[in-house]
Amino acid sequence: MPDTVLPPLLQSYLDELVPDRPAELRAMEALAAAEGFPIIGPACGQLCYVVARMLGARRIFELGSGFGYSTAWFARAVTETHGSGGEVHHTVWEQTLSEQAQRHLTALGLAPQVRFHVGEAVAALAAQSGSFDLIFSDIDKEGYPDSLPVIERRLRPGGVLIVDNMLWGNRVLDPAATDPDTAAIRRFTRQIADSPHWSGSILPIRDGLLLALKG
C-alpha cells in the first residue's frame, strides 16, 4: 500500500511547507522511512496539530498510535494550549512499541502529558471515563466499522474524529477491490456520510484523512 495517493512531488511540497520541528520528530520520520514503518507524516501531523489547537482540545485519545509520532503532534497541541492540564492517550498492542514511544516522547519533553495503554485500542477507549475532545483512529481497517459506536459514546458533542487511510491507496475507488480491509473502509465511510450525527469530509492528503464533527 503506497504511503500517499498524491503525486510524490505534491506530497513533498506539502511536507516541506510544515514549519521546522524538533530534531526528535525529524529523527522519528527518518526512522520510519528507514524501517518502512507507517506514520502519518509531517503534513498530516501538522494538520492534526492545527485541528487540536483550533478545537482547544484538552483530552485526546488515539486508537492505534505506533511509536508515538502522531502522539507527539497531539501532545504538542494540548501542551501549548493547556500546559500540564492536557492529556493524550497512546494505545498499541505491543509493550516494546509502547516503550519506544515513551523514549521518543520523553526526549521531546511531552511524556508527562501522555497516558500509555498496551492492549486492544477500542477496548481501551471503552474503558475510559468521561469524554474526549478529539479521537484519532488508525487501527486495523477491518475494525473501523465496529469502532464507531464506541467512538460515538466517548467523543463529546462538538468533538472531532480524525481517521487515517480513508482512500487506502485509491483502492476504495476500484470496484474490483473487494478485500476485507477495503470493504470495511467503504462501509465506515458510508456510516459517517449517512449519519445525522456526523458532518465529515475526507481530505485527499497522504492516504486520505477523514475529519468529522460530532453533532
3-state secondary structure 157-180: EEEEEEECCCCHHHHHHCCCCCCH
The DSSP bridge partners found for residue 101 are none
Rounded to two decimals, the pTM is 0.95
Is residue 2 very low, low, confident or very high in pLDDT (cuts 50, 70, 90)? low
pLDDT tens profile 148-175: 999 999 999 999 999 999 999 999 999 9
E-assigned strand segments in 52-126 = 59-63, 87-92, 114-118
Whether the predicted pLDDT of 185 surpasses 80? yes
Residues 88-101 have a mean pLDDT of 96
pLDDT tens profile 63-78: 999 999 999 999 999 9
Is residue 4 very low, low, confident or very high in pLDDT (cuts 50, 70, 90)? confident
pLDDT (0 to 100) of residue 1:
55
Q: State how far the Cα of 126 lies from the Cα of 148, in Å rounded to an integer.
A: 11
Give the chain's domains with CATH numbers: 8-214 (3.40.50.150)
Q: State how far the Cα of 156 lies from the Cα of 150, in Å rounded to an integer.
A: 12
Within the chain, what is the greatest distance between any pair of CA atoms?
49
Q: Which of 140, 132, 180 is nearest to 163 (CA)?
A: 140
